[in-house]
């Protein structure tokens, strides 16, 4: 199968802040809080439509001659608070740092993501063929999101009231870029359980990029996605928690983190593409349980098993949680044998209520 051709047929528009969160904020009585959220939702809807139109027209995947480089090819643009992309080029690969901290953080975050995938998994950029990594900062006005649009990363500055600059958390960058990795590999459909797996893969590798950059073991990591993104007034620590889904925030404006950690609390909804940002808490927690049971650096064992499944060719685009779980157990056995690693992965899935784990 031509993976890139298949990817071109289903490039999705993925944001770090779920629409249900922004919708909650947009209904607040304080217009200083509601208006930026409302504008962000409108901007996201336009970008999502643009993504669909571009996909229908078709965009050829970039091809490179020769072996891909072991160095990233990063370009950072400044949107200058406009809605057009990519904006003005402000830093290329190897250029001297500018005084703009958002530019520096974006540049470094793209590099850290490239480094994890190359050094740990032998992957050359998100397409494994040295694809250039482009990012735009200072997108739109008070834009409360960051997104991967199938071609590049885009970061808003936040409104300063609920969200801060979206380049602050390195795992936000890595999360969105991992949507690109998924796009070029398993290409998981962005709906229901397959969509929640898509989101979970981004949270998992987003967390691993942060842990790798900080040199943290599984026991030392905070297992949060988006720590440092919420403004001081918000009662919360991050957007999501792999360690304890449902506890990242509980705020009078944002509401309460709705993520379940086990199948007992699985949320059935037609919103958010069938709850892709909500039910991703279940496979997220399974990864946390596997990683901490295995100990050491999470990217070395649990991360390798998850990567093997994502890129191995057996994961169908419409995979359900139990499909993915069975493949991870089989991948752990294939890589490490019938020992504690396989048992740790099996135990992790059983810990979140997924018990149909025998190969079919």
Average pLDDT over residues 287-311: 98
Helices (H) and strands (E) in the chain, counts: 11, 10
20 has catalytic annotation:
no
Question: What pLDDT does residue 358 have?
Answer: 81
Task: Note the helical H segments in 58-191.
Answer: 101-121, 170-184
Q: What percent of the chain has pLDDT over 90?
A: 85
- Whole-angstrom CA distances from 52 to 93, 146, 287 are 30, 18, 32
Q: Please, what sign has the CA dihedral across residues 298, 304, 276, 62?
A: positive
At residue 186 the predicted structure's pLDDT band, cuts being 50, 70 and 90, is: very high
State the DSSP H helix or E strand holding residue 77, giving kind and residue range, or none if neither: strand 74-78
Backbone angles phi, psi at 89, to 5 degrees: -65, 130
Give the pLDDT score at 9.
38
Residue 306: the pLDDT is 98
Q: Is the pLDDT of residue 212 over 90?
A: yes
Give CA–CA dist 218/221, Å, rounded. Answer: 5
Catalytic pick among 175, 179, 212, 277: 277
- Cβ–Cβ contacts within 10 Å for residue 283, how many? 27
Can you tell me the mean pLDDT for 126-140?
96
Look over the chain and give the mean of its residue pLDDT values, rounded to a whole number.
Answer: 92
Q: In this structure, what are the phi and psi dihedrals at residue 241, rounded to the nearest 5 degrees?
A: -130, 125
Q: Is 115 a catalytic residue?
A: no
pLDDT (0 to 100) of residue 4: 40
29: its two tokens: 């009585």
Tens of pLDDT, residues 82-125: 999 999 999 999 999 999 999 999 999 999 999 999 999 999 99
Instruction: Give the mean pLDDT of 29-56.
Output: 80
Report pLDDT for 10. 52
What domains are defined for the chain? 3-184 (3.10.170.10), 192-351 (1.10.390.10)
Which of 176, 189, 199, 341 is flagged as catalytic?
A: 176
- The pLDDT of residue 59 is above 70: no
Q: Which of 139, 134, 132, 187 is nearest to 7 (CA)?
A: 187
């Amino acid at each position: 199968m031509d993976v890139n051709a298949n990817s071109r047929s289903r490039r999705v528009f993925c944001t770090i802040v779920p629409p249900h969160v922004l919708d909650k904020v947009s209904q607040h009585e304080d217009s200083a809080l509601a208006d930026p959220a409302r504008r962000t939702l409108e901007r996201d809807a336009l970008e999502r439509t643009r993504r669909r139109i571009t996909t229908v027209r078709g965009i050829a995947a970039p091809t490179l001659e020769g072996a891909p480089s072991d160095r990233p090819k990063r370009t950072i643009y400044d949107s200058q608070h406009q809605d057009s992309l990519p904006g003005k080029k402000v830093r290329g690969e190897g250029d001297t740092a500018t005084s703009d901290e958002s530019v520096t953080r974006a540049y470094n975050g793209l590099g850290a993501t490239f480094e994890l995938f190359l050094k740990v998994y032998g992957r050359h950029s998100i397409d494994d063929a040295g694809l250039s990594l482009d990012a735009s900062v200072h997108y739109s006005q008070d834009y409360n999101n960051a997104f991967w649009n199938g071609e590049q990363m885009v970061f808003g500055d936040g409104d300063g009231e609920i969200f801060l600059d979206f380049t602050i958390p390195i795992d936000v960058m890595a999360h969105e870029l991992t949507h690109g990795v998924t796009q070029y590999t398993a290409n998981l459909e962005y709906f229901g359980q397959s969509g929640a797996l898509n989101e979970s893969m981004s949270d998992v590798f987003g967390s691993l990029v942060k842990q790798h950059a900080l040199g943290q073991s599984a026991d030392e990591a905070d297992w949060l996605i988006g720590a440092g993104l919420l403004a001081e007034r918000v009662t919360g620590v991050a957007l999501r928690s792999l360690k304890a889904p449902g506890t990242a925030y509980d705020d009078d404006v944002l509401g309460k983190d709705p993520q379940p950690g086990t199948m007992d609390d699985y949320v059935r909804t037609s919103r958010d593409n069938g709850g892709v940002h909500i039910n991703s808490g279940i496979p997220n927690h399974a990864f946390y349980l596997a990683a901490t049971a295995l100990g050491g650096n999470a990217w070395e064992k649990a991360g390798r098993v998850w990567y093997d499944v994502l890129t191995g060719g057996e994961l169908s685009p419409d995979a359900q949680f139990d499909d993915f779980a069975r493949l991870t157990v089989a991948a752990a056995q294939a890589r490490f044998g019938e020992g504690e690693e396989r048992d740790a992965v099996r135990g992790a899935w059983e810990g979140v209520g997924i018990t149909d784990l025998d190969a079919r």
